[in-house]
Structure 1
Amino acid sequence: MITTYIGIGTNVEREKHIRAAFVELTSLGRNLALSPVYACESFGFDGSEFYNMVVRVDTDLNLFELSQVLKQIEIKWGRAADAAKFQDRTLDLDILLYGNEISQKKPLVPREDIFKYSFVTQPLYDLDPQLVIPNDGRTVEQILETMSDVDSLKKSIFNFSW
């Protein structure tokens, strides 16, 4: 089994889609762990506030299979197959890390969003602050310390329980 970290984002019917993502991800493996849910402004476009979180799961799927399954889950829950990057979305599922694997072709891992966006890095930190990012050598905590927008995140009042 490989431990993978999956970022979840939604700004359309947020509670419904965060719950749906969790239910769907339970079928991908075992030992699921959930970060808190964070609310943050949309980035790159003018849209509704997002909910973001990260799920850690141990899976037997290979990287390509996992990527395909996540894409199908997104489509099942209303995301257009040809959805643009910066727009409202029902569900966005991104593989952030896949064990210690490094991939320069899609899906790219580690995902660059870990280094760019606190709404990805903070929930990853909540799950495993001392996790070392492959091909970088820094821990999640060290990366988070370099981010200036962490204070703009707020834990959601939405209490996600399973």
Structure 2
Amino acid sequence: MAQIFISLGSNIEKEKNLLSGLRVLIKHFPDFQHSSVFESEAVGFAGNNFYNSVFAAQTQLSLDEVYKLLKSIEYDHGRRCSEKKFSPRTLDLDILFYDHLICSSPAQLPRDEITKNAFVLQPLAELAPDFIHPVEGKTIAQLWQEYHNPTQKLWKVEFPKQ
């Protein structure tokens, strides 16, 4: 069984799409943990605020199977592969970690955004403070404690419990 961490984000009908995406993930990974949901300003472009969270589960699926599943869920929520990297999203699902695997395909692991974006690192630190980042060699709690980017503000929001 592999330990996986997935970031969820949306800024188009954000509550509806994040909740729907979460429900689909739960169907595939019923033994899960889910962080608080945080709202943040868009990073890299001018746009509506995002809702973000992190989902953790154990899986017997391969990395390739998890990657394809997430792309399928995004597509089912109106995401298109032609969208620019920094643009509004109905649903964005990214694999952050697949165990301690380091690779570049089918997804970059560990995900580069982990150490760069508060909207990924804070919910991840809430969910898995003792998980060791395989490249940084530090726990997620240490990375969050050392994180400093005053331009990235985020705050917890009330969100339906699953």
* Range into which the TM-score falls when normalised by the shorter chain: over 0.9
Task: Return the alpha-carbon distance in structure 2 between the equivalents of residues 143 and 32 of structure 1.
Answer: 23
TM-score between the two structures when normalised by the length of structure 1: 0.94
Per-residue CA distance 1:93-146 (angstroms, 9 max, x = gap): 000000111113331111011111011000000101111011321110111122
The amino acid of 1:154's aligned partner reads W
Structure 1 segments of 4 or more deviating over 6 A? Answer: none
User: What is the DSSP-based 3-state SS (H/G/I as helix, E as strand, rest coil) of the residue aligned with 1:120?
Assistant: helix
For residues 8-63 of structure 1, what are the alpha-carbon distances to aligned partners after superposition, in whole Å with 9 as ceiling and x for unaligned? Answer: 00001111111111111013223210100000000000000000000001111100
Q: Compute the TM-score of the two structures, normalised by the length of structure 2.
A: 0.94
SS state at 1:82 partner: coil
Separation in 2 of the partners of 1:25 and 1:5? 11
- Taking the aligned partners of 1:149 and 1:14, their CA distance within structure 2 comes to 24
Range with greater deviation from structure 2 (88-97 or 73-82): 73-82
Tell me the number of residue pairs that the alignment of Structure 1 and Structure 2 aligns.
161
- Calculate percent identity across the aligned residue pairs: 35
Amino acid at match of 1:10: S
Counterpart residue type for residue 71 of structure 2: K
1:4–1:99 CA contact under 8 A, matched in 2: yes
Partner of 1:66: 66
Q: Which amino acid aligns with 1:155?
A: K
1:98 and 2:95 are equivalent in the alignment: no
Unaligned runs of 5+ in 1: none
CA shift, 1:82, in A, is 1.6
